[in-house]
Structure 1
Amino acid sequence: MSIATVGMASLAEIDDPAPVLLTVEEAARCLRIGRTTCFALIRAGDLESLTIGGLRRVPADAPAAYLARRRAEQRAA
């Protein structure tokens, strides 16, 4: 493999990496809820988020973790 090939592979990965963080709007779309409801879940501590500068971001795995907790709670009830 040439250096040029390795360089192109690295650039391809940089151009379209899997997101590590989601905006609140993207997280809301994942959960199929509204933006306001998503912010309410964040405020209540039900959906993990963090602030970077002045931006609120949701880890990409947080919506799935929230759903897993909700499903477990409903099964236990």
Structure 2
Amino acid sequence: MTATTIPAPSKALYRIPEAMRLLSLSRSVIYEQIRAKRLRTVTQGRTRLVPAAAITAYVALLEHEAQKGGTR
């Protein structure tokens, strides 16, 4: 088995719309994944940000679930 290579993120933190584009997910799905603690975020003032490492970890989680054949 070979893992998909994820390109190195160019930024350390992404706003929600940027994370939506990177992950090809809708706003509601992003927030659903945040609530389910599957996608980690941080806040700076009133702004919710997604760390690049959290995006990488989320993709790895999805790949792991796909290999197991499960959805959660």
Q: TM-score range by the shorter chain?
A: 0.7 to 0.9
> Offset of 1:58 from its aligned partner?
0.2
Moved >6 Å (runs of 4+): none
Give secondary structure in 1 for the equivalent of 2:49: strand
The aligned length equals 60
Q: Structure 1 residue 48 and structure 2 residue 56: aligned?
A: no
Higher relative contact order (CA 8 A, sep 6+): 2
In structure 2, C-alpha distance between the alignment counterparts of 1:55 and 1:41, rounded to whole Å? 17
In structure 1, what is the equivalent of residue 23 of structure 2? 31
Of the candidates 11, 19, 25, which is equivalent to residue 19 of structure 1? 11
Paired-residue identity, %: 35
The two structures, once aligned, show a CA RMSD in angstroms of 1.2
Q: 1:76 aligns with which of 50, 68, 71?
A: 68
Letter in 2 for 1:72: H
Structure 1 or 2: more helix by fraction: 1
CA radius of gyration, larger in: 1
CA distance in 2, matches of 1:73, 1:36: 21
The one-letter amino acid paired with 1:26 is E
TM-score, reference length from structure 2: 0.73
Q: Output the CA distance in 2 between the equivalents of 1:35 and 1:23.
A: 11
The answer for unaligned runs of 5 or more in structure 2 is: 1-9
